[in-house]
Amino acid sequence: MTLSSYTNEDKVLLAVDCIIFGFDSEELKLLLVKRGFEPEKGKWSLIGGFLKKEENLDIAAARVLHHLTGLHDIYMEQLYTHSKVDRDPADRTLSVAYYALIDIAKHDKELIKQNSAQWFPLKKAPELIFDHNEMVKRAMARLKRRALSKPIGFELLPEKFTMRQLQKLYEAILGKKLDKRNFISKFNSFDILIKLDEKDMSSSKKGAFLFKFDEEKYSRKVEDGFNFKI
Amino acid sequence: MTLSSYTNEDKVLLAVDCIIFGFDSEELKLLLVKRGFEPEKGKWSLIGGFLKKEENLDIAAARVLHHLTGLHDIYMEQLYTHSKVDRDPADRTLSVAYYALIDIAKHDKELIKQNSAQWFPLKKAPELIFDHNEMVKRAMARLKRRALSKPIGFELLPEKFTMRQLQKLYEAILGKKLDKRNFISKFNSFDILIKLDEKDMSSSKKGAFLFKFDEEKYSRKVEDGFNFKI
DNA sequence: TAAAAAAAGTGTTTATTAAACACTTAAAGA
DNA sequence: TCTTTAAGTGTTTAATAAACACTTTTTTTA
């Protein structure tokens, strides 16, 4: 077989942009950077970078995220490829949006400061460059959808968490208040949490039991086709 | 503001590949082409083409589809961007998968013959080149998901259809038998069908009433946030 | 040291939705 | 006129979702 090459076709620049979500026990946050180069220098932006020849997109997105936060092995998912012809005034560039869920306590605070990055509550995030606002909107919609069908939220929580934190997180993602008793009994029916003997004393006098996610039970249930619909 | 250009970054070829679904009253079908050039010449493939500098992806996908079928204004949706480094042995190429839903009766039969394209029942489709099998799998999953949350199926049916055809379509998409009475009462509860005075006599002696989709009512319900969950 | 405050924890009832189920009707063809 | 074939039509039961309020524990304060 002869390998011909597609010599007469147009080539384009391909960027990846990451919508990085965090959660601080109260609200969802977004990690943004102040752009250090033209065009749109000084404005807020998602973190991004260009795909290199020897990478696939997942690798490129992980590299970009690692570069900003120092974190490895982060939950990321490809969202959508944005291609409006004039989306970047500097050059014909397409961008593949990825979203990432990280435990807000874990990233390298020095590193993000060096990169002039900053956490913003989702509702108070500034206007972003190019089509980044649309990317965030899409990411939010996907996150909501995922949260309703699998227990994705654990990526955003510390290893040990209280039921209240878990509920607050779901409330933040879904954008509505949930009933405490219904939420807990729903979640208990999944049977994927381990109740610890420890209590978290930071938010009440009585203290609240800590739980952790039982990855093993979870994987088994996924294999069995269990439905985690909230 | 000075527009700098990203001069040192790698550029890549970007293809679009279309998963084209049709429905023939019995089963879902896929429109495939026999590839006329190397690499993998003579094997079956999704239809595809390269993104041109002056197009966005939606336009490119529509162009590719129109070129094969002669059809305009087809329901298409971007699915996923495939980026494995060696996915195309000829050149470093990424591909954005789109899926399309068309009324199998409408396309230009001559044109597809000229392009050595052919309809295959989904279950009897041949092995495809590159990562096209994976693309089809993803498309099928998306179609299933969409069918459960909005009445997407009308794109696959002729303008007038019987309730039986509609049910068969959903059965084909969801991959399971549905109860006739439950299906009809569910669909009636959406209140987006117009019952015509005509009957289709082709499949029974009694004849079955024809219906058509009420786009106007549907749009109003979408605006009101109505949930079309099957 | 008793009362107030503050969040944790815990079940039951009711409403809604989904699933299971079978006979009658209409018309053509033998 | 009897047989055949698919169309058409409601009700009952099961499962899931939603609504709902009081008790417990411990610290702080009067």
At A80, give phi and psi (nearest 5°).
-170, 150
Residue A5 has pLDDT above 80, yes or no: no
Q: Which residue of B has its CA nearest to A54?
A: B85
What was the pLDDT predicted at B225?
87
Give A73's pLDDT tier (boundaries 50, 70, 90). Answer: very high
Among candidate residues A15, A155, A198, A123, the one with its CA nearest the CA of residue B10? A15
What's residue A50's pLDDT? 98
Provide the pLDDT for residue B2. Answer: 45
Tokens of B106: 């409408």
pLDDT at A4: 60
* CA dihedral sign, ordered A90, A44, A15, B64: negative
B90, burial (CB in 10 Å: exposed 0-12, middle 13-18, buried 19+)? middle
Among B residues 28-57, those touching chain A with beta carbons less than 8 Å apart: 37-41, 50-57
**What's the one-letter identity of residue B125?**
A
pLDDT at B107: 94
Quick one: how far is CA A135 from the chain centroid?
A: 12
SS (H, E, C) B126-168: CCECCCHHHHHHHHHHHHHHHHHHCCHHHHHCCCCEEHHHHHH
Alpha helices in chain A (DSSP H): 57-69, 109-114, 132-149, 163-174, 180-190, 215-223
Q: What is the CA radius of gyration of chain B?
A: 20
d(CA A143, CA A155): 12
pLDDT at residue B3, as a whole number: 54
Single-letter amino acid, residue A85: V
Q: Which amino acid is at B57?
A: L
Which of A51, B138, A30 lies closest to A62, judged by CA?
A51
Chain D nucleotides close to protein (CB under 7 A) are: 4-11, 17-21, 24-28
Which of A's residues 166-225 have CB atoms within 7 A of nucleic strand C? Answer: 179-182, 184-185, 199, 203-209
Residues B28 and B173 sit within 8 Å (Cβ to Cβ): yes
- Side by side, which strands form the sheet with B208-213? B161-162, B208-213, B193-200
Rounded CA-CA distance A46/B139 in Å is 28
> Chain B residue closest to A51 (CA)?
B10
B39·A94 Cβ contact <8 A: no
CA distance B11 to A218: 41
In chain A, the percentage of residues whose pLDDT exceeds 90 is 90
Distance in angstroms: CA A200, C1' C26: 71
Which residues 6+ apart lie within 8 Å of A112 measured at CB? A31, A68, A69, A118
Rounded Cα distance between B87 and B91, Å, is 9
Q: Which nucleotides of C are covered by protein (CB under 7 A)?
A: 5-12, 18-22, 25-29
Pairing of strands B28-34, B11-23: antiparallel
Q: At what angle do helices B163-174 and B180-190 cross, to 10 degrees?
A: 100
CA dist B93 and A23 (Å) reads: 37
Instruction: Give the single-character DSSP code of A10.
Output: -
Residue A87 near residue A6 (C-beta atoms within 8 A): no
Res B48: pLDDT: 97
Alpha helices in A46-116 (DSSP H): 57-69, 109-114
Kindly state the percentage of chain A with pLDDT values over 70: 98
The residues that bridge with B81 in the sheet, in sequence order, are B96
Judge if the beta carbon of A182 is closer than 7 A to nucleic acid strand D.
yes
> What are all long-range contacts of B110-114, with beta carbons under 8 Å and residues at least 24 apart?
B111/B68, B111/B69, B111/B70, B112/B31, B112/B68, B112/B69
Q: How confident is the model at residue A61 (pLDDT cuts 50, 70, 90)?
A: very high
List of chain A residues whose C-beta atoms are within 8 Å of the C-beta of residue B41? 1
Q: Which of A144, A119, A152 is nearest to A26 (CA)?
A: A119
Lowest mean per-residue pLDDT among A79-88, A125-134, A143-152: A143-152
Asked if the model's pLDDT at residue A52 lies above 70, the reply is yes
Using the Cβ of A8 and the Cβ atoms of chain B, whether some distance falls under 8 Å is answered with no
Dist CA A37 CA A107 (whole Å): 24
* CA–CA separation, B101 and B103 (whole Å): 7
The model's pLDDT over B156-196, given as tens digits with 9 standing for 90+, comes to 999 999 999 999 999 999 999 999 999 999 999 999 999 99
Cross-strand partners of B76: B100
DSSP state of B78: E
Tell me what pLDDT residue A15 has.
Answer: 98
| Residue B183 structure tokens | 């299906």
Q: Kindly tell me the burial class for residue A2, based on how many C-beta atoms sit within 10 Å of its own C-beta (0-12, 13-18, 19 or more).
A: exposed
Sketch out chain A's domains with CATH numbers: 13-148 (3.90.79.10), 152-223 (1.10.10.10)
Between A and B, how many residue pairs show a Cβ–Cβ distance under 8 A? 102
Residues belonging to chain B: 230
- B204 touches B175 (CB < 8 A): no
The pLDDT tens digits of the residues spanning A163-218 come to 999 999 999 999 999 999 999 999 999 999 999 999 999 999 999 999 999 999 99
Indicate the average pLDDT of chain A. 95
Helices assigned H by DSSP within chain B:
57-69, 109-114, 132-149, 163-174, 180-190, 215-223
The contacts of residue B73 (CB under 8 Å, 6+ apart) are none
pLDDT on residue A2: 45
Peptide bond preceding B39: is omega within 30 degrees of 0, i.e. cis?
yes
CB A87 within 8 A of CB A131: yes
From the CA of A7, how many Å to the nearest CA of chain B? 9
**Helix (H, G, I), strand (E, B), or coil: what is residue B75?**
strand
Residue whose CA lies closest to nucleotide D28 C1'? A205
pLDDT < 50: residue spans in chain B: 1-2
